[in-house]
């Protein structure tokens, strides 16, 4: 029997091939384990991305404990005192709520002393208070306009003039919708995330048969006729600012021409930054995610735009400086850290990356109350050296490209020039969280009503979300604000109504007091009140 001999070269080749396969399988296994740990954390763990600074802090500088927003402490004499046990509560009722008083008295025949049978008199009162909730009720408002004629002309002339009393125009001609009903439906859907079919059931319980199709028609008509001009003025005002935020999210539109019902459309968001005196938040529906949409929307804008790493924003004109989001980078680093076994997290490279970013965010917290001029000076002194150190550390880091940490490092290197742009101006922010918070109401609503039926409905949704979220950002009551708009818009320029579209904007001085949300008095700014037991 012949034996087959293998040369040393062939044996070495076989060993190298097996080593390559082993390395490939180990990398694949590492990637699968990362995905496994990450999915388990998303399914069973907390959604918070907070890190334990005591365990992972890599910095011990003297300024780590400094707070630039606090004044110098003053000397005071310490006196012994005792404090009752307290509990945390945020419950507060407006002082101007109507009060309904119900008094309980004894009947005259019962005002007799049980001992001596003498007459009883009132010596005091015992009082308790309750919050009474009155569900929404519907009433019919019948507008009756009187028409007048001249008796003398009727008797002496062949022409009799008629004079009609002034009556405001309806929000939708030929229909029975009122400004209050449209505002209520819009707030329930776009702020409270209650779909029209649920509202239909709610009205049915009150004996009112109001179909979802009718409510949808009301919303779309009111949007196209009265709200869209306000939206366009808001868009023009938005592009006059120097700093904006942008973001986008998916939307499903069933009856979109040329597309299947399962295809994706998008809701884009643009809003002002913290430096604006009056906040503006605008949503825009588009059938896709192409870069031409932000280009068209921001064609009259020049300045800084906060956004994520989506490539469409990087194709904007040179007059727009794109500012990256370090919160997105931190999230990628944090996911890479949490995908590791718990005992390996604190000493990992991902934890070190998170610590660098936590320090940068810590600086921004200290700079929060500084003026833009002083903030940029502090950033140059503290944030920029740390940012350079962070990227130098990543340049020396050796990681596999397909791992979560490798993807985070690649994201940081490819986005570096955008991530560092927030150091250019003291008005800029370290993250795009402001836009992500503003798009959250739409995401929550989408989970309830799931989709838009037509493109016109999607456009109307964008306009309603713009007005409602902007109203909330400016301390307005969305229901009262929409009611006021829909009452005034059909009657602009008439006595007793707003004079122009500019008067209907959220920051207008013509807004009446009733459209502002009431603010509880005697409350701590942090909205935390400690009550004694």
Q: What is the pLDDT of residues 252-262, one digit of tens each?
A: 999 888 888 88
Place of tokens 């009431």: 518
Parse the chain into domains and list their residue ranges: 332-428
pLDDT at 89: 61
d(CA 378, CA 246): 26
| Cβ contact 101:108 at 8 Å | no
- How far is Cα 393 from Cα 388, in angstroms, rounded to an integer? 9
422: nearest Cα among 512, 328, 324, 516: 324
What three-state secondary structure class fits 40?
A: helix
DSSP H helical segments within 157-223, as ranges? 179-190, 196-205, 212-222
**What is the reported pLDDT for 276?**
92
* Residue 415: pLDDT over 70: yes
**Average pLDDT of every residue of the chain:** 86
| Cα distance between residue 177 and residue 174, in whole Å | 9
pLDDT at 525: 42
Instruction: Categorize the per-residue pLDDT at 93 as very low, low, confident or very high, splitting at 50, 70 and 90.
Output: confident
Task: Provide mean pLDDT across the span 129-149.
Answer: 88
Q: For 233-272, give the DSSP string.
A: HHHHHHTTSSEEEEEEEEE-BTT-TTS-TTS-EEEEEEEE
Q: What pLDDT score was predicted for residue 290?
A: 93
On whether the CB atoms of residues 335 and 404 are closer than 8 A, the answer is yes
Question: In terms of C-beta density within 10 A (0-12 exposed, 13-18 middle, 19 or more buried), how is residue 503 classed?
Answer: middle
CA within 13 Å, CB half, 229: 14
Q: 86 or 430: whose pLDDT is higher?
A: 430
Higher pLDDT, 351 or 525: 351
State yes or no: pLDDT of 506 exceeds 70: yes
Region 234-247: mean pLDDT is: 96
Residue 349 reports pLDDT greater than 80: yes
Share of the chain above pLDDT 70, in %: 86
- pLDDT class of 528 with cuts at 50, 70, 90: very low
45 exposure class (CB count in 10 Å sphere: 0-12, 13-18, 19+): exposed
Residue 131 CB coordination number (10 Å): 7
Instruction: Categorize the per-residue pLDDT at 120 as very low, low, confident or very high, splitting at 50, 70 and 90.
Output: confident
Residue recorded with tokens 């070190």: 352
* Owner of token pair 């079919």: 197
- Identify the residue with better confidence: 25 or 101: 101
Which range (135-144, 309-318, 330-339, 515-524) has the least confidence?
515-524
Q: Residue 438 — very low, low, confident or very high, per pLDDT cuts 50/70/90?
A: very high
Residues sharing a CB contact under 8 Å with residue 455, sequence separation 6 or more, in sequence order:
253, 255, 256, 257, 285, 287
pLDDT band at 49 (very low <50, low <70, confident <90, very high): low
How much of the chain exceeds pLDDT 90, in percent?
Answer: 56
* 481 CB-near residues (< 8 Å, 6+ apart): 467, 471, 506, 511, 515
Split at pLDDT 50, 70, 90, the class of 24 is confident
């Amino acid at each position: 029997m012949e034996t087959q001999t293998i040369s040393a070269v062939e044996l070495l080749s076989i060993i190298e091939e097996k080593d390559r396969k082993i390395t490939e399988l180990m990398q694949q296994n590492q990637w699968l384990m990362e995905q496994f740990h990450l999915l388990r954390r998303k399914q069973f763990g907390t959604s918070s991305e907070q890190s334990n600074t005591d365990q992972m802090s890599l910095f011990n500088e003297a300024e780590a404990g400094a707070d630039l927003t606090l004044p110098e402490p003053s000397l005071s004499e310490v006196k012994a005192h005792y404090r009752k046990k307290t509990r945390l509560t945020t419950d507060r009722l407006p002082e101007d709520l109507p009060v309904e008083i119900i008094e309980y008295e004894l009947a005259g025949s019962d005002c007799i002393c049980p001992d001596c049978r003498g007459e009883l008199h009132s010596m005091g009162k015992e009082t308790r208070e309750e919050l009474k909730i009155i569900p929404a009720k519907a009433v019919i408002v019948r507008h009756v306009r009187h028409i007048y004629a001249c008796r003398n002309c009727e008797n002496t002339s062949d022409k009799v003039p008629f004079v009609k009393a002034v009556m405001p125009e309806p929000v939708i001609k030929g229909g029975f919708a009122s400004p209050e009903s449209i505002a209520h439906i819009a707030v329930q859907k776009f702020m409270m995330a209650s779909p029209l079919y649920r509202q239909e059931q709610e009205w049915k319980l009150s004996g009112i048969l109001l179909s979802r199709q009718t409510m949808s028609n009301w919303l779309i008509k009111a949007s196209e006729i009265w709200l869209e001009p306000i939206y366009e003025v808001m868009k023009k005002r938005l592009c006059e600012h120097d700093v904006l935020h942008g973001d986008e999210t998916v939307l499903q539109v069933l009856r979109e021409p040329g597309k299947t019902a399962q295809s994706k459309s998008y809701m884009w968001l643009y809003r002002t930054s913290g430096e604006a005196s009056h906040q503006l938040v605008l949503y825009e529906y588009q059938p896709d995610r192409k870069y031409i949409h932000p280009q068209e929307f921001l064609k009259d804008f020049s300045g800084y735009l906060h956004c994520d790493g989506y490539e469409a924003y990087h194709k904007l004109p040179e007059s727009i400086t794109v500012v990256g989001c370090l919160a997105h980078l931190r999230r990628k680093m944090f996911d890479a850290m949490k995908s590791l076994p718990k005992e390996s997290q604190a000493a990992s490279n991902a934890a070190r990356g998170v610590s660098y970013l936590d320090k940068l965010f810590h600086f921004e917290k200290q700079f929060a109350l500084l003026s833009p001029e002083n903030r940029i000076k502090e950033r140059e002194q503290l944030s920029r050296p740390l940012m350079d150190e962070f990227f130098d550390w990543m340049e020396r880091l050796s990681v596999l490209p397909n791992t979560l940490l490798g993807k985070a490092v690649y994201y940081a290197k490819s986005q570096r020039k955008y991530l560092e742009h927030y150091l250019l101006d003291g008005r800029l922010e370290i993250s795009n969280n402001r836009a992500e918070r503003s798009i959250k109401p739409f995401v929550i609503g989408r989970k309830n009503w799931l989709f838009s039926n037509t493109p016109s409905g999607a456009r109307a949704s964008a306009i309603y979300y713009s007005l409602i979220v902007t109203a909330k950002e400016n301390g307005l009551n969305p229901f009262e604000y929409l009611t006021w708009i829909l009452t005034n818009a059909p009657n602009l320029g008439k006595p007793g109504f707003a004079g122009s579209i500019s008067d209907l904007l959220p920051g207008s001085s013509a807004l009446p007091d009733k459209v502002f949300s009431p603010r509880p008095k005697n409350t701590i700014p942090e909205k935390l009140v400690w009550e004694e037991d």
